[in-house]
Structure 1
Amino acid sequence: MTVLQYDDRRLRLDFGRWEALLLRRSHLEFPLTAIARIEVLPGWTSEVLGLRSGLVISGFLKIATFRHPSGVRRLVSMHRGTPVLRIGLAGAEFDELLISTPTAVAVADGLRVAR
């Protein structure tokens, strides 16, 4: 599962072995100034995310990058039954992150304070 870490300047995502393989990267970092919005979803989102590169097991697991026809680029690491942190980014490689984490509410609150 993705591990999220942040301080007063940056957000870092460290991916597990299989996530890193599927996403073709071991980690990502963004300055906190790139965060445009933060939202916590109670669980899985079934919205249309776009064309993918990665693994999707419908209704259970999504570890992939997506490009929506509108041009929105998303990095997704979602697991069924776990809250999802939705982070909107500006001026970054991805427009949105959808990351499952059991500590989504605490991370969202911490990021809001840190920015």
Structure 2
Amino acid sequence: MLQVEIRQETLTVRFAPWARLFTRAGAVSVPLRAIAEVHLLDRPLGAATGTHYGLLVSGVIKAGTWTSLTGVKRLVAARREDSGLRIVLKSRVRGHDELILSVPGAEQLQRRLIAVMA
């Protein structure tokens, strides 16, 4: 569903062609200095709540933008099978406050992000 890479002080998330319809982007790049926190999620689907634009197959997949009742906008690409990350941003990047991503090797990616943020 997505590919994540860290290169030249930037986190880049590239979405699969079908997911681009719901995320409204082929890729999102976030400067590492814009990341405030990175949390490991066992169940990333549950982290995306509120109103949404995108794909929702209950309990299976979420892809798109979820807006909480408090106004926090989350770019979401999450599946039931994978653990994931909640990446909290210091300020909005491309209209989003957080990224909720299902990624293979989420724990390793979290460690890499924390190491390069330090």
Q: Same fold (TM over 0.5)?
A: yes
Equivalent residue for 1:31? 31
For structure 2, which runs of at least 5 residues remain unmatched after alignment? Answer: none
1:3 Cα deviation after fit: 0.7
- Counterpart of 1:60 in structure 2 is 60
Residue of structure 2 in register with 1:99 after alignment? 101
Distance 1:48 1:24, change over 3 A: closer
Runs ≥4 residues deviating over 6 A: none
Gaps of 5+ in 1: none
Give the structure-2-normalised TM-score: 0.91
Change (3 A) 1:13 1:47: closer
For residue 58 of structure 1, report the CA deviation from its aligned partner.
Answer: 0.3
Write the distance in 1 (CA, Å) between the matches of 2:48 and 2:13: 23
Whole-angstrom CA distance in 1 between matches of 2:26 and 2:48: 26
| Residues 38 and 48 (structure 1), Cα distance of their counterparts in 2 relative to 1, 3 Å cut | closer
Distance in 1 of aligned mates of 2:75 and 2:54: 10
Alignment RMSD (CA, Å): 1.3
Q: C-alpha distance in 2, partners of 1:21/1:5? A: 21
- The aligned residue for residue 2 of structure 1 is 2
The count of aligned residue pairs is 115
Q: Work out the percentage of aligned pairs sharing the same amino acid.
A: 31
Name the residue aligned to 2:74.
74
Q: Higher strand fraction: Structure 1 or Structure 2?
A: 2
The residue aligned with 2:116 is: 114
Whole-angstrom CA distance in 1 between matches of 2:106 and 2:7: 16
Q: Secondary structure at the match of 1:95?
A: strand
CA-to-partner distance for each residue in 1:10-36, whole Å, 9 max, x for gaps? 110000011111111100001001101
Counterpart AA for 2:109: V
